[in-house]
Amino acid sequence: MFVFGVSLICLLSSQAVVEGLAAKGEGRGHSSLLQLEGLQENEEFILFNTTGKERRMKANRPLGKGAYGEVWSAESSDRLTPKLSLAVKEFQSKKEAEKEDRAFSRVEGILHVLQEKGKNLDLQEPLVATDLMKCGDFTQFVRGMQRPECRKVGRLSEQLIALAIYEVLKGLQDMHEKGIAHQDVKPDNILVTLRNGKYSFVLGDLGSSTRVEDETGELYAPKCGSGTPKYFHPGRYPVVKHREQESCNGFANDIWGLGMSGVLACTGQMPKGDLYELGAALQTVSEEWSKNGRLDLSPLFKKEKGSITGDGGQWGSCGPTLTKAIQMLLVPSEWGRSTISTFLLTPFKDLSEGHDPDFVSPDFAHHKNIHDFQCPLKGSLKKTQQCQQTAMKGEGARQWNRYRLNRWCESVYCKEHTKGSKMGECKDTCSRHRTCAGFCEDYRSEKKHTRWVPSQWAKSAQDKLDACLEPCYKAREKW
């Protein structure tokens, strides 16, 4: 069971739960008293969409309160089509509403990032609108608190965790390319909805988002203090400990926050402590990485040293493969993880599609060496990021796709190593994978073959696995 230790009170007060928002106007019965008291249940009001078209809306029910106002669900009440279901955020000040509107304008058109659907900024209590996220936020999702129509689609699984991380990574990648850092990536700000009967995840709550100083993601103080300290990158510990920090990297902070969201999805744990304790813990994590090159998150959770590390194994309910993919996001060095590259995206894409990432082949080792060890030696953060973006595009980075793997299985391996009825099983197993490691470890599973021929397999488990991997890797280089 995947759970987060987050109270329902905090959940309902989060802006991210309902960062679908809308706008109010001079609707029927709209009086000065209404402007003072705010939206009421069944209240009708006017919303202007992003092209200036007027729509009459009706408030349904309050969804929660954020730092700057209340959020309501609303639906269109006129005869126009299509019918709209939106979330409407009512601000207490025009300044905050205009700030939110500007934030939405910066991310217009970016997939997997919440989009503005309308606004009315001329009211005493102005409104901004987005789509209504039907399944709440990621915190609700992992706690099984979705609406019934969402639960019917499916409950949390490793594949859905990978899909959530992959889609948010894609959204962040596009934001970063536009020079925007989100600054507050956390489970409460990952929103969940249904599209064509399937789950879709978007990044909401853009209140802390900001333009970076340069293309590398650099930010100057006081912008380094924006966001939620429990999800701060370790490089920001001076901010939490109330020390002056001249600059920080907004892109690195976004990647770290998403990685920590993955940790919570797996373990059900969240960082603990007050601001001083968090600052000390972040400093310890940062120093451990600087001195020993080792990821140890234990101080953030007040655990014994070495209990939550990146040394292999698995975290909580997540298996070793998903755990390793999440660990790849959690590098305490801003130089090591300040750009979202294909190297980071591919494992989550594979897992979200039900395939095993390639973590054991020579190609992966080659790419990791370039991405994590050679690139950070380039002499500048800009050159490091450029190098990491191309780490999987150079010599030796040729991708072994499903078509090529299946072709090799059918024309070579399955013919030479199987007979009769086992031929079909060999081909079926191959069709489920796109990497040599995935196919060979599945088809030559020690448990499966122990069940068939115990005495023979017990003596040659590793030999049979190697006999599958070696010709597969050779074929990949030729094809």
Is pLDDT above 50 for 348? yes
Is pLDDT above 50 for 78? yes
Q: Which pLDDT score, from 0 to 100, does residue 474 have? A: 76
Is pLDDT above 90 for 145? no
Is pLDDT above 80 for 445? no
DSSP 29: T
Mean per-residue pLDDT, 320-342: 94
Sorting pLDDT into bands at 50, 70 and 90, what band is 325?
A: very high
Give 210-230 pLDDT, tens digit per residue. Answer: 999 999 999 998 889 889 999
Mean per-residue pLDDT, 137-148: 85
Give 97-116 pLDDT, tens digit per residue. Answer: 999 999 999 999 999 999 99
Task: Report which of residues 395 and 377 the model is more confident about.
Answer: 377
Is pLDDT above 90 for 457? no
Helices (H), 409-453: 414-417, 422-431, 436-443, 446-452
- In the chain, how long is the greatest CA-to-CA distance? 86
Sorting pLDDT into bands at 50, 70 and 90, what band is 431?
A: confident
Mean per-residue pLDDT, 413-423: 81
DSSP string, 354-414: T-----SSHHHHHHHHIIIIIGGGSSSHHHHHHHHHTTTTSTT-----HHHHHHHIIIIIH
Is pLDDT above 90 for 265? yes
Sorting pLDDT into bands at 50, 70 and 90, what band is 37?
A: low
Integer angstrom CA distances of residue 387 from 81, 169, 343: 49, 19, 11
Q: Which pLDDT score, from 0 to 100, does residue 185 have? A: 97
Mean per-residue pLDDT, 394-403: 53
Mean pLDDT of the chain: 83
Mean per-residue pLDDT, 438-463: 61
Sorting pLDDT into bands at 50, 70 and 90, what band is 459?
A: very low
In what helix (H) or strand (E) does residue 201 lie, and over which residues does it extend?
strand 198-203
Helices (H), 214-303: 237-240, 250-267, 275-292
Is pLDDT above 90 for 175? yes
DSSP 429: H
User: Can you tell me the distance from the alpha carbon of 40 to that of 72, in angstroms, rounded to the nearest whole number?
Assistant: 9
Q: Are 114 and 191 in contact (CB under 8 A)?
A: yes
157-166, 287-296, 312-321 — which one is most confidently predicted on average?
157-166
Going by the annotation, the residues of the binding site are: 89
User: Can you tell me the distance from the alpha carbon of 361 to that of 352, in angstroms, rounded to the nearest whole number?
Assistant: 20
Is pLDDT above 80 for 235? yes
Going by the annotation, the residues of the binding site for ATP are: 89
Pairing of strands 210-211, 180-181: antiparallel
pTM of the model: 0.76
C-alpha closest to that of 186 among 255, 109, 136? 255
Structure tokens at 462: 């590793």
Q: Which pLDDT score, from 0 to 100, does residue 465 have? A: 76
